[in-house]
């Protein structure tokens, strides 16, 4: 790496000029010009002659002029909207039969069984309504926690992809803030399990650089809240690099997210809507242990940048059957949790468990529950089916109301499924305030505290 401490001898862009710069600075920095000084050094060392230097300048100028001429003769662009949309994401690399030994689960994983333990905080009611273990016979795997599904996905992916590198704060010897990568550095070494400085922007940039050099990269954003520090790298570099010049960003950013654990306003935010709004990113948000594993493997195999949200309160509170095999859950496919006739709740993440808990405690209401699983791209087919199933739709998410993904889905339903509606589409979301530390205030903040109100409002319409 060559570091040149230099000075911009022209304006930021042609129109701005240089009147705002004191003239003496140009003279001072002109004497320090590293390019000019290097040129003079090469001449003094007899590596180049003055004539050779001039020849290089003439050749370079001629090349530039030739290329500019070619560019000026380019035909006008013929606009093709379909092509523009296709160019946002890098297409997946075709896989050859049994070489990957990958099971792709594109349906709702009906064979899976789930079981939960009680959650630690009263602000996050214990999910329930899963069939008890042993209801169905499944030949492989065992009940595992949400966090175990994530860890297993990372471990199997590290084994499968020798070019996969994981980076994050204290993820090596310490095992990360949530101990997900504990033991990884002993097995895979410090070259592949890399501790990083507390500089999210630099780590996202390093992940993109690895992708450009043919690696796969996973970054643990210790808390999803800290993505703000790396926002420019994510939004303007990761998301747009394929559209700009056809280069894939083979990067997964793990985003420990969500409240319900009394962690306050800087470690509890649900900020998935920021990224679902950005073309070029994929946004994944599992609610079950099986999906946590399968969707993370799918994200790692996807050549596009994926923001992978994992709810902290689900880590050790939700468990279920997770196949031991290496498998994918298809990105962009929702999961039907249960069918119902009265109302449809469309949700994701913690909201899935809120909806299931509510359905269990209100057996008199037939509730259709759809787990989106992926927020970008959305499964519009499944959303439409959920609307037509009951004609009454409630969008439930932990994120705050204004600007949440629920508003986008509600608008799409209004534009595309209006004839199937028997009531206005309602949204149940968290308060439009920062998340409080106090557990009682946090409980009131959470969308779950208002779920009953919105369900009854929808039923009574």
- Residues identified as active-site: 267
| Burial bucket for residue 10 (CB in 10 Å: 0-12, 13-18, 19+) | exposed
Residues 12-40 as b/e (b if ≥16 CB within 10 A, e otherwise) read: eeeeeeeeeeeeeeeeeeeeeeeeeeebe
Number of helices (H), then strands (E), in the chain: 16, 17
337 - beta bridge partners?
Answer: none
Give the integer Cα–Cα distance in Å for 92 and 82. Answer: 18
Give the integer Cα–Cα distance in Å for 91 and 94. Answer: 9
Q: What is the dihedral of CA 103, 104, 105, 111, to 10 degrees?
A: -10
Q: What is the DSSP string of 311-333?
A: EGGGTTTEEEEE-SS-EEE-TT-
Q: Which residues contact 382 (CB under 8 A, 6 or more apart)?
A: 333, 334, 336, 370, 372
Q: Which of 100, 150, 104 is nearest to 296 (CA)?
A: 150
Three-state SS across 17-35?
Answer: CCCCCCHHHHHHHHHHCHH
Give the integer Cα–Cα distance in Å for 164 and 216. Answer: 5
- Cα separation values, 59 from 55, 62, 66, 70, Å: 6, 5, 10, 17
Q: Which residues contact 398 (CB under 8 A, 6 or more apart)?
A: 258, 259, 270, 349, 350, 351, 429, 430, 446, 447
CB 146 within 8 A of CB 136: no
Q: Which residues contact 186 (CB under 8 A, 6 or more apart)?
A: none
Task: Scan for tokens 């895979």, then name that residue.
Answer: 188
- Token output for 60: 């370079």
């Amino acid at each position: 790496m060559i570091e040149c401490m230099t000075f911009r001898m022209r304006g930021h862009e042609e129109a701005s000029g240089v009147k705002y710069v004191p003239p003496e600075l140009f003279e001072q920095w002109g004497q320090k010009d590293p390019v000019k000084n290097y040129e003079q050094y090469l001449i003094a060392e007899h590596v180049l002659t003055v004539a050779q230097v001039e020849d290089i300048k003439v050749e370079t100028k001629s090349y530039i002029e030739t290329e500019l001429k070619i560019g000026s003769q380019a035909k006008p662009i013929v606009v093709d909207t379909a092509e523009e949309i296709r160019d946002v994401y890098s297409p997946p690399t075709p896989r050859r039969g049994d070489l990957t030994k990958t099971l792709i689960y594109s349906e709702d994983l009906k064979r899976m069984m789930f079981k939960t333990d009680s959650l630690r905080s009263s602000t996050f009611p214990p999910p329930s309504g899963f069939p008890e273990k042993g209801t169905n016979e499944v030949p492989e795997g065992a009940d595992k926690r949400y966090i175990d599904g994530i860890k297993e996905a990372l471990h199997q992916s590290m084994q499968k992809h020798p070019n996969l590198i994981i980076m994050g704060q204290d993820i090596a010897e310490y095992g990360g803030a949530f101990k997900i990568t504990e033991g990884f550095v002993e097995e895979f070494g410090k070259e592949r399990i890399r501790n990083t400085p507390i500089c999210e922007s630099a780590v996202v940039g390093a992940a993109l650089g690895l992708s450009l050099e043919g690696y796969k990269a996973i970054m643990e954003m210790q808390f999803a809240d800290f993505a703000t520090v790396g926002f420019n790298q994510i939004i303007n570099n990761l998301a747009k690099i394929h559209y700009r010049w056809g280069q894939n960003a083979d990067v997964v950013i793990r985003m420990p997210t969500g409240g319900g654990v009394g962690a306050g306003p800087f470690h509890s935010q649900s900020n998935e809507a920021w990224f679902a709004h950005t073309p070029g990113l994929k946004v994944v948000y599992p609610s079950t242990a099986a999906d946590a594993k399968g969707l993370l493997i799918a994200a790692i195999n996807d050549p596009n940048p994926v923001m992978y949200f994992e709810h902290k309160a689900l880590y050790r509170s939700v468990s279920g059957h997770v196949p031991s095999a290496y498998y994918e859950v298809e990105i962009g496919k929702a999961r039907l949790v249960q069918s119902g006739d009265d109302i449809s709740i469309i949700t994701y993440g913690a909201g899935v468990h809120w909806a299931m808990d509510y359905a269990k405690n209100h057996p008199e209401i037939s509730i259709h529950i759809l787990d989106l699983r992926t927020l970008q791209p959305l499964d519009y087919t499944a959303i439409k089916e959920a609307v037509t199933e009951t004609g009454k739709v409630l969008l439930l998410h932990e994120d705050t109301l204004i600007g949440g993904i629920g508003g986008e889905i509600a608008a799409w339903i209004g534009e595309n499924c209006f004839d199937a509606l028997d009531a206005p589409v309602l949204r149940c979301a968290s308060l439009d305030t920062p998340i409080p530390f106090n557990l009682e205030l946090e409980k009131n903040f959470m969308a779950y505290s208002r779920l009953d109100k919105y369900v009854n409002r929808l039923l009574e319409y």
